[in-house]
């Protein structure tokens, strides 16, 4: 894990300085993608809006969506679920939607530029600058794409720490008709989660932005662990 994160950061700081936004959205070459500087020019979201962003992370079924609903109710954030935006794209029958459906069924992570494009559209059309971004970033590619395209970093990051057996139990009981809520896809999602989340968590931990929350307990008990994170910064914006 460490080696991967280290080699990625050496890529980030070593080469081309061309802003991602000037490049064709889906023709990003990995090299340019990782090496570009965050876009901070005219039309940059972080320049136009006073942003206050919390990323909400955790494995499948760890309770991210459930806790986001409570944070919205209590602290006036706008909730953007990356998974939900991708599901809406599938429902729109777009070309991207077909690609996204195939990836979600396989428990894979959708190419970052597709997901960030959807997040950006929502963030631009929203008057509120306080965003809870749920299920994102899932990996280092997601994280870097957000920084590059949105030109912002999160102010804080919540990580719901939940044992696998509990996540499997919750997802199988969810009953919302999701194509990925079946045991085969859950196992694939858990594998992908285990392989990709750690560098992201570690990155934000080192920056002092990470709040790790024990996700075992009732929904209300967990929210009482989340509340102080937001109560502490309520006066700040
Ligand atoms: N503390 C809890 N105890 C028991 N069940 C819970 C708890 N929190 C959430 N759930 C239930 O577990 C299921 C998964 O929760 P939720 O959808 O919030 O997870 P998630 O992290 O958003 O998952 P995904 O990444 O798959 O979207 C839901 O049916 C929810 O009602
Ligand atoms: N950053 C993201 C978020 C979600 N996805 C895809 C893959 C997930 O299995 C699926 C469902 O997301 P969830 O609702 O569980 O957060 O959506 C992705 O590729 N990238
Ligand atoms: Mg969810």
What ipTM did this prediction achieve? Answer: 0.99
Q: How far is the CA of 125 from the centre of ligand 2 (A)?
A: 22
Ligand 1 in contact with 107 (CB < 6 A)? no
Ligand 2 in contact with 136 (CB < 6 A)? yes
Cβ 188 vs Cβ 161: under 8 Å: no
Cα-based distances in Å from 70 to 23, 101, 172, 233, 237:
38, 29, 22, 16, 19
Q: Whose CA is nearest to atom 28 of ligand 1?
A: 174
Give the domains, in start order, of the chain with CATH numbers: 2-14+22-32+47-231 (3.40.50.300)
Q: Whose CA is nearest to atom 14 of ligand 2?
A: 83
Q: How far is the CA of 142 from the centre of ligand 2 (A)?
A: 11
Q: Whose CA is nearest to atom 13 of ligand 1?
A: 170
142-146, Cβ contacts within 8 angstroms, sequence gap of 24 or more: 142/109, 142/112, 142/115, 142/116, 142/200, 143/200, 143/203, 144/8, 144/12, 144/33, 144/34, 144/112, 145/20, 145/33, 145/112, 145/113, 145/115, 145/116, 146/112, 146/116, 146/119
For residues 70 and 218, what is the distance between their CA atoms, to the nearest angstrom? 13
Tokens encoding 184: 């085969």
Q: Whose CA is nearest to atom 10 of ligand 1?
A: 63
Looking at all shown ligands, the one closest to residue 58's CA atom is 1
Residue among 172, 196, 161 at smallest CA distance from 58: 161
Ligand 1 in contact with 199 (CB < 6 A)? no
Cβ 61 vs Cβ 171: under 8 Å: yes
Ligand 1 in contact with 59 (CB < 6 A)? no
> Which is the closest atom of ligand 1 to the Cα of 174?
29
Mutate to test the pocket of ligand 1, among 63, 84, 163, 185 (most ligand atoms within 8 A of CB): 63
Looking at all shown ligands, the one closest to residue 104's CA atom is 2
* pTM of the full structure: 0.86
- The three-class DSSP label of residue 136 is coil
**Which stretches within 21-94 are classed as H helix?**
30-35, 45-48, 64-75, 82-91
Per-residue pLDDT of the chain (237 residues; tens, 9 = 90+): 222 222 222 222 222 333 333 323 333 343 344 444 555 556 667 666 789 999 999 999 999 999 999 999 999 999 999 999 999 999 999 999 999 999 999 999 999 999 999 999 999 999 999 999 999 999 999 999 999 999 999 999 999 999 999 999 999 999 999 999 999 999 999 999 999 999 999 999 999 999 999 999 999 999 999 999 999 766 554
For residues 33 and 165, what is the distance between their CA atoms, to the nearest angstrom? 36
The string over 14-45, giving b where at least 16 C-beta atoms fall within 10 Å of a residue's C-beta and e elsewhere, is eeeeebbbeeeeeebeeebbbbbebbeeeebb
Q: How far is the CA of 35 from the centre of ligand 3 (A)?
A: 31
Q: Whose CA is nearest to atom 5 of ligand 1?
A: 170
> Which is the closest atom of ligand 2 to the Cα of 87?
17
């Amino acid at each position: 894990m460490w080696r991967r994160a280290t080699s990625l950061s050496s890529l980030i700081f070593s080469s081309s300085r061309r802003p991602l936004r000037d490049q064709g959205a889906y023709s990003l070459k990995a090299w340019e993608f990782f090496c570009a500087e965050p876009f901070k020019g005219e039309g940059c979201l972080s320049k136009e809006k006073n942003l206050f962003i919390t990323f909400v992370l955790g494995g499948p079924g760890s309770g991210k969506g459930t806790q986001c609903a409570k944070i919205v109710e209590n602290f006036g954030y706008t909730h953007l679920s990356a998974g939900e935006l991708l599901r809406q794209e599938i429902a729109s029958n777009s070309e991207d939607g077909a690609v996204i459906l195939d990836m979600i069924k396989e428990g894979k992570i959708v190419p970052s530029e597709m997901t960030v494009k959807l997040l950006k559209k929502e963030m631009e059309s929203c008057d509120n600058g306080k965003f809870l971004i749920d299920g994102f970033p899932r990996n280092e590619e997601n994280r870097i794409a957000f920084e590059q395209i949105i030109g912002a970093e999160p102010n804080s990051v919540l990580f719901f720490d939940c044992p696998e057996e509990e996540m499997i139990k919750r997802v199988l009981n969810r009953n919302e008709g999701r194509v990925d809520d079946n045991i085969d896809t859950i196992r694939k999602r858990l594998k992908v989660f285990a392989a990709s989340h750690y560098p992201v968590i570690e990155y934000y931990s080192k920056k002092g932005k990470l709040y790790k929350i024990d996700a075992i307990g009732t929904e209300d008990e967990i929210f009482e662990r989340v509340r102080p994170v937001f109560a502490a910064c309520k006066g700040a914006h």
